[in-house]
Chains A and B, each alone.
Chain A
Amino acid sequence: MARIGVFVCHCGINIAGVVDVEKVVEEISKYPDVVHAEHYKYMCSDPGQNLIVNAIKEKRLDGVVVAACSPNMHETTFRNACERAGLNRYRCEMANIREQSSWVHADEPEKATEKAIQILQVTVEKVKLNSELKEAAVPVTKRCLVIGGGIAGIQAALDVADAGYEVILVEKTPSIGGHMAQLSETFPTLDCSQCILTPKMVAVSRHPNIKLMTYAEVVDVKGFVGNFKVKIHQKARYVTSDCNICGKCEEVCPVIAPNEFDRNLSPRKAIYLPFPQAVPARYTIDTNHCLGLNPLVCGKCKEVCEAKAIDYDMRDEEIEVDVGAIIVATGYELFPKEKIGEYGYGVYPDVIDGLEFERLLSASGPTGGEVVRPSDGKVPKVVAFIQCTASRDPDSYMPYCSKICCMYTAKHAMLYKHHVHDGKAYVFYIDIRAGGKDYEEFVKRAMEEERITYIRGKVSKVFRRGDKMVVWGSDTLSGEFVELEADLVVLASAIVPIPDTKKVANLLKIPVDENSFLKEAHPKLRPVETLVQGVYICGAAHGPKDIPETVAQASGASSKAIAILSGKELYHEPTTAEVNMDACSGCRVCVNLCPFSAITFNETTHTVEINEILCEGCGTCVAACPTGALKLRNMTDKQIFNMIRAALSGGD
């Protein structure tokens, strides 16, 4: 026999104005195992909570039901109160008679009262069979993994490291910096991108708490929050840390390869430094182009290296690390050019994308900051900028807005005018989205002060006529067809997650959305968390975003990671599934159902085992178990059967 106490809250008149609380108390007092019932104006207030504490002690209650608001509102409040009276917190439940009765049946007080009683009975049935549970404590590895070394990863790594925790920053390419390092200037201030980024890159390399692993990839992740085991594949770069970037190797290297950092607008050698400010400041041999890492074949770089930093015998390595939290900042790419047929992108050299234009504008770019056409090196006198290329086009391309293109196109057009004073810039747009601090003013400046012509309309086709690029479009304000002869066409291509995003998401068991961006735990209230505890996201891997938003999100993700790392132990909800080994037939239906890989099959016992730390308590496995060997703690089949009967008892 259980000894259940029921506490009915008036919530001022929110409940009592509709539900007859006295009748509720009278009826529930007759219910089996209910030994105490009372009502009070505000149960969540101090005197209200004291009523519960005192009743637990005086009436030796072993279960409590508070009939009040939604458990999502005050469950913790009342469970804490019960704990103060010495009652296990899992022996307390809430019956939601406000949101799901008084507020929604205000015109039918009698029926609302009846429903309140039934909700209470259902909850009493649950509490009767609730077990006393305790959160499982797990130790925490005080180290954080950051995947991706763009501005998001850099900021996150610095924040976690500054808080005093070790950070391992893994970057796929030979240098950190990401796309921000490729930009010439940033909107809306026209700050030099590299000038504001490189101090942060250097801070990463100098930080005593950060271990930087470039030219490396995460290949396996096991474990759970506080205790992840990560395998990192370190590619051989064939140049040791003795490299003093004197650059002699590069001079003698006979191989010409496309320079990815310059978006293939310039050549580089097979031994190369991605860009002058690269961190780590160390050359890398690109084995796809190198003649063979063999002194007999070439070996010129090794001959000239005075620092003796070149090591052809270097091999790829797999390194295992333990971390407590993981921040994913894998970033973005621009929509692949070969897929945008109508604009001739990839066919005509004078149709380029935004990042290519950034390189043309950049003082460290292939032209030293001179804006010229890729085809013939002439200064373009007319430039057409096409916004929403492959964005906001659910029929053919990506359905979403890439968010930063309105702003960077305004910046591009403005910088172009600063470079080529007599040049003419045309911007084709659908509408202008400049929702950020000082953004609207920036676009206005482009339109009004910099004399850039904005044409509202989409471009249907781009083709070559002589040495000009002809742009066909429509001006939807005048309703007229537009033909423009331009020297250069710049496409504001859609921002897409890097192709590896899905691979990383699969490793970490975090979901991606329909456009393959990483998905947050809640779009409003948990924007940097994922559904996997201890894994956080930031930057453009989560969706198109500008630098300020990326940096803010990175700091948010790092503060979440720090919250995990700073605890001595982690506590995990104990309302998980458990297995009755005697009843388990080893059919393994549950193993594949578990989205968290919490269930494994034990070959020796021929039964399944549940990792209670990985289990999130959804109960999907329990519902599918054919032998009833699985049980969800405090939501067992027996409890639910009793609750169903209670819900259907009374009145015909």
Chain B
Amino acid sequence: MGFEPKIVAFLCNWCAYSGADLAGVSRLQYPPNMIPIRVMCSGRVDPQFVLEAFKNGADGVFIGGCHTPGDCHYVVGNFKAFKRVVMLKKMLAQLGIEPERLRIEWVSASEGRKFAEVSKEFVEQVRSLGPLNYGKREKA
């Protein structure tokens, strides 16, 4: 059996999570590799969560928020999330983790199609990077 990437997806309640719901309502098919965790705002995603996911065996981490500027239900939470991702990508590179394993995307509640497309794309992206096995590497 081929490599099936494990991906944790933090989805903001108002945009990305609702967009994912719409993908479902529209019956748009995408790979089942992403396990969603619903947060109220992408701004809730603490950089530690991303590191914790990689540490525990995630091959990729996805953050879905509202479009910038202005769509965020909490005004600017998406900007905060974006800044943290920029910082995290640099940090991941230093840890020897490909920054492409982390992705942030703006998906509105009306963009079910975009959610499905982005999910497909990201799963393929992580698949091509291969398994990360970060936690296991640490132990070994």
**A514–B68 alpha-carbon span in the complex (Å):** 11
Stretch at the interface among A329-337, A368-376, A602-610, A615-623: A615-623
Q: Return B5 CB to nearest CB of chain A, in Å.
A: 11
Complex contact A644–B49 (CB within 8 A): yes
Q: Cα distance A125–B64 when bound, in Å? A: 22
Report yes or no: B70 in contact with A514, Cβ–Cβ below 8 A. Answer: yes
Contacts of A575 in B (CB 8 A): 40
Q: Report A89-130 residues with CB < 8 Å from chain B CB.
A: 96, 98-101, 103-108, 111-112, 114-115, 118-119, 122
Pick from A29-37, A221-229, A381-389, A634-642 the stretch touching chain B.
A634-642
B35-51 Cβ-contact flags toward A at 8 Å (1 or 0): 11111110111111100
A-B complex: 4 closest residue pairs judged by Cβ atoms = A99-B24, A620-B43, A619-B44, A595-B75
How many whole Å from A11's CB to the nearest CB in chain B?
12
Question: Is B80 within 8 A of A593, CB to CB?
Answer: yes
Least CB separation from A652: chain B residue: B57
Q: Is the CB of A632 closer than 8 A to any CB of chain B?
A: yes
A511–B43 Cα distance when bound, in Å, is: 18
**A100-B36, A648-B53 given. 7 additional CB < 8 A pairs?**
A72-B21, A511-B70, A617-B40, A623-B46, A644-B8, A644-B52, A644-B56
The residues of B that contact A105 with a CB separation of less than 8 Å are 29-32
- B-contact bits for A497-513, CB 8 A (1 contact / 0 none): 00000000000000101
* Chain A residues within an 8 Å CB radius of B69: 514
CB contacts (< 8 Å) of A70 on chain B: these are 21, 24
- Chain A residue with Cβ nearest B61: A644
Residue pair A620, B80 in contact (C-beta under 8 Å): yes
In the complex, chain B residues whose CB is within 8 Å of the CB of A637: 46, 48
12 contacts between A and B (CB under 8 A): A72-B21, A100-B20, A100-B24, A105-B29, A105-B30, A105-B32, A111-B32, A531-B74, A618-B40, A618-B43, A635-B40, A644-B53
Indicate whether B84 reaches chain A with its CB closer than 8 angstroms.
yes
**What residues on B are CB-neighbors of A622 within 8 Å?**
44, 46
- Tell me the nearest residue of chain B to A103, going by C-beta: B24
Residues of A within 8 Å of B74, CB to CB, are 531, 595-596, 616, 618, 620
Residues of A within 8 A of B95 (CB): none
A-chain residues with CB within 8 Å of residue B73 when the two chains form the complex: 531, 616, 618
* A109-166 at interface with B (beta carbon < 8 Å): 111-112, 114-115, 118-119, 122
Q: Is A624 an interface residue (CB 8 A)?
A: yes
- Check: A647 CB closer than 8 A to any chain B CB: yes
Residue from the list A100, A103, A617 in contact with B27, Cβ < 8 A: A103
Complex CA distance for A250 and B80, rounded to whole angstroms: 58
CB pair B37 A643 closer than 8 Å: yes
- What per-residue 1/0 map shows which CB atoms of B93-134 lie under 8 Å from chain A? 000000000000000000000001000000000000000000
Report whether A118 and B30 are in contact in the complex, using a CB–CB cutoff of 8 Å: no
Chain A residues within 8 Å of B36, by CB: 96, 100, 119
CA–CA, A640 and B51, complex, Å: 12
Task: Kindly identify which residue among A71, A103, A632 contacts B44, using a CB–CB cutoff of 8 Å.
Answer: A632
- CB-nearest residue of chain A relative to B13? A72
- The answer to the question of A519 belonging to the interface, with a C-beta cut-off of 8 Å to chain B, is yes
Is there contact, CB below 8 Å, between A115 and B43? Answer: no
Q: How far is the CA of A106 from the CA of B76 in the complex (A)?
A: 36
B23 at the interface (CB under 8 A from A): yes
Q: Count residues on chain A whose CB falls below 8 Å from chain B CBs.
A: 48
Closest residue of chain A to B133, judged by CB?
A652
CB distance from A645 to the nearest CB of B (A): 5
| Choice from B27, B35, B45 contacting A647 with Cβ under 8 Å | B35
CA distance A96 to B36 in the complex (A): 9
Cβ–Cβ contact B75 & A104, under 8 A: no
Q: Is B86 an interface residue (CB 8 A)?
A: no
Proximity bits, A438-471, B CB within 8 Å = 1, else 0:
0000000000000000000000000000000000
Q: Fill in one digit per residue for A503-541: 1 if any B CB lies within 8 Å of its CB, else 0.
A: 000000001011000010000000000010000000000
How far is the CB of A411 from the nearest CB of chain B, in Å?
Answer: 34
Q: Which of A96, A111, A596, A635 meets B39, CB within 8 Å? A: A635
In the complex, what distance in Å separates the CA atom of A593 from the CA atom of B6?
Answer: 32
CB distance from B124 to the nearest CB of A (A): 16
A112 to B32, Cβ gap below 8 A?
yes
Contacting residues of chain A (304-331) with chain B, CB-CB under 8 angstroms: none
Q: Name the A residues within 8 Å of B57 (CB-CB).
A: 648
Contact B56 A104 (CB under 8 A): no
Question: Which A residues touch B28, using CB under 8 A?
Answer: 104
A617, closest chain B residue (CB):
B40
B25 near A107: Cβ-Cβ < 8 Å: no
What are the interface flags for A159-195 relative to B under an 8 Å C-beta threshold, 1 for contact and 0 otherwise? 0000000000000000000000000000000000000
B59-97 interface bits toward A, Cβ cutoff 8 Å, 1 = contact, 0 = none: 000000000011001111100100010000000000000
**Which of chain A's residues have a CB closer than 8 A to the CB of B17?**
72
B62: min CB distance to chain A, Å: 12
B52 and A641 contact, CB distance less than 8 A: yes
Q: Distance (Å) between the CB of A302 and the closest chain B CB?
A: 51
Q: Are A620 and B53 in contact (CB under 8 A)?
A: no
Contacts of B20 in A (CB 8 A): 99-100
CA A98 to CA B21, docked complex, whole Å: 9
Please report which residues of chain A, range 352-381, place their CB below 8 angstroms from some CB of chain B when the two chains form the complex. Answer: none
Nearest CB in chain A to that of B80: its residue = A620
- When chains A and B are docked, how far (Å) is the Cα of A216 from the Cα of B58? 59
Chain A residues with CB below 8 A from B25, complex form = 99, 103
Cβ of B65 to closest chain A Cβ, rounded Å: 11
